[in-house]
Structure 1
Amino acid sequence: MVDRANRPSALSAPSAAVPGAEVDVTDARVTARLPSGESVEVLLYGASVISWKSNEGKTENLWLSEKAALDGSKPVRGGIPVVFPVFGPPPKSGHPTSSLPQHGFARNQRWEFLGKSTSEDALDSSSVKLDFGLYSANLTEDARKAWPYDFGLVYSVTLAKDSLQTVMNVRNEGKESFEFQMLLHTYLRVKDISKVAVNGLMGVQYVDKVLNASTHTESNKSVTITGEVDRVYGDIPQDTTTVVEDSKPRFDIVRDNLSDTVVWNPWTEKAKAMGDFAPDSGFKEMLCVEVGAVKGWQKLEEGDTFEGGQLIKSLL
């Protein structure tokens, strides 16, 4: 058994879903819809969430590039890609992840749909949980060669009326220990980035990748976006980060057993430089707030398990 520190507490969301929730499974994606209209779509390629609609299905909460590849040819630009077992460019040499591509392999492997669970809580609030699996035996030959560890990933996506919960379970199924990083690369949809702020990071130390990976301490109660932003906030003491738009709370992002958050917006020049980012002005309507364990490495011994995730609440 693992130490309790490796396991998250229960998040304050319904645990599954009401009878009547519809789940449609095709060769490429899984779509779930609640009786009240809320929905989520998950590609089997990368287990990438590409749509989450709340407010009876009227409000899309995730930004997806108009040029996002949804055919399994490359990682998805937008939605919620899964980053594992390394965040960003891997160490240049001397680390087991050094031969992997940026952000690892989980977002460009085909996952297995493990099934759904549905139930109803006492308050008559429905939800549906979808489970996806990726295992070392199912990796492409190149990925297996680059990272030859025996592991199992189970990714759970739970849709409720006003929230989406995404949780990753990592298990070491081999005899050799391994280190990893993980991140949920969430692209939130906003109406106007100039009216958006992120609260809950004041006093937190961060690495600013725009400023040569220099280290700073956040001095602002509200972090606004006025140019390219690429910051890794580490060891955040409180669990909730709030995205505010036009002075009103828009999203609460509740981390569970994950201590880090990346805030990213490519702004004008970088957006134009990315071939799969469209439209060029799309940076005005998105903000990445990405929960993860990316400051240093998580280590799992034989048979150990790590679990961490997020609960995103739509506050409209």
Structure 2
Amino acid sequence: MVSKKTPLSIPVPSAGEVRSAKGSVDLSSDRVRVTLKTGESIEVLLYGATVTSWKVDGEEKLWVSEAAKLDGTKPVRGGIPLVFPCFGPNSSALNLPQHGFARLSNWSFLGENSEEPSSVQVDFGLSPSNIPDELKGKWDQNFGLIYSVILGQKTLQTKLVVQNEGEEKWEFQVLFHTYFKVSNAEKVSIKGLKDVTYTDKVLGGTTASEDNESVTITGETDRVYAKVPTDRETVIEQDGKAVFSVKRKNLEDVVVWNPHAAGAEKIGDFEPKEGWKEMVCVEAGSVGEWTTIEGGSVWEGGQIITLA
């Protein structure tokens, strides 16, 4: 959905901790930590605006590689990296790195903008001036991004506002590359994708229709499910019991990825190599096609993850 509204402008705060009736927001030089009064917490790096931790009842819900770089030297392997303005092999067509530049850029923290009584929202901004110097000029569209991360007692919501601040239309793709932490990937079932056509990147880009009620991890898995009805939730089950559900807004595609043993061995920053057993990526996005945004228009999309 594209509209002509203007994103909210929020003053950039200084470092420190802000406490409220809901919890606290702590800004340091490189990350933001949010903790609710009820104990739930998130951590978001300013580099890439990458969510690197989501804890509920003291338990981590996101998987992050032990070899992940958290110092801004490369994209984070794990958590929720943000893919924009292009996905996968489309990146090379635009002369950009894999999955674009959003996860490679230092975002500005725009502050807390909480409206719901039981949640805390923190906002981050990205403009052309934030893109790494070596990438400036390779994608010369005039844009503005506002990325919101909203922590609730049993929910985590991420949403992105994209504004075309120029006069000419352009195209983009977007994806929330969520690494869910599980106890055994081979006993995970992913529901909500039956009868959806997918592209199997492991099998060279062949397409097929999902005939099964559940998608399971039996080997290296890399599929892009296209045009999944947005009123259909994606449910992740462990040992037959629902663990996470994902609702999507204005995002019609779902990527399912797990490198399994052979794939993990080929990824330098994937540690431990047996870590594939403890994660599964179920990624809400708009990547099967390009989204066109007219000059002066705004697009918004997002996901809501709920603990079952």
TM-score bucket of the superposed structures, by smaller chain:
over 0.9
State the AA in 1 paired with 2:76.
V
**Contact conserved, 1:194 with 1:226, CA < 8 A, in 2?**
yes
1:135 and 2:137 are equivalent in the alignment: no
Per-residue CA distance 1:241-266 (angstroms, 9 max, x = gap): 00000110000011111000000000
Q: Distance in 1 between matches of 2:2 and 2:263?
A: 42
Which aligned pairs between 1:167-316 and structure 2 lie closer than 5 A? 167-237=159-229, 238-315=231-308
CA drift of 1:296 comes to 1.1
Q: Please identify, of 84-93 and 20-29, the stretch whose mean Cα deviation from structure 2 is larger.
A: 84-93
Q: Can you give the 5+ residue segments of structure 1 that lack an aligned partner in the other structure?
A: 8-16
Q: Distance in 2 between matches of 1:171 and 1:158?
A: 20
State the AA in 1 paired with 2:196.
V
RMSD of Structure 2 on Structure 1 (CA)? 1.7
What TM-score, normalized to structure 1?
A: 0.90
Aligned to 1:63: 63
**Contact conserved, 2:3 with 2:299, CA < 8 A, in 1?**
no
Q: Distance in 2 between matches of 1:120 and 1:284?
A: 36
Q: Can you give the 5+ residue segments of structure 2 that lack an aligned partner in the other structure?
A: 8-18
CA drift of 1:119 comes to 5.1
State the AA in 2 paired with 1:25.
L
CA drift of 1:84 comes to 0.2
Aligned residues with identical type, % of pairs: 51
**Contact conserved, 2:3 with 2:298, CA < 8 A, in 1?**
no
1:88 and 2:88 are equivalent in the alignment: yes
**Contact conserved, 2:64 with 2:78, CA < 8 A, in 1?**
yes
CA drift of 1:185 comes to 0.2
Runs of 4+ in 1 over 4 A off after TM superposition: 1-4
**Contact conserved, 2:175 with 2:285, CA < 8 A, in 1?**
yes
Q: Distance in 1 between matches of 2:88 and 2:116?
A: 39
Per-residue CA distance 1:217-251 (angstroms, 9 max, x = gap): 00000111110000000101243100000110000
CA drift of 1:174 comes to 1.1
Q: Distance in 1 between matches of 2:213 and 2:170?
A: 38
Per-residue CA distance 1:149-200 (angstroms, 9 max, x = gap): 1100000000000000000110001122111000000000000112110000
State the AA in 2 paired with 1:80.
I
What TM-score, normalized to structure 2?
A: 0.92
* Number of positions where the alignment pairs a residue of Structure 1 with one of Structure 2: 294
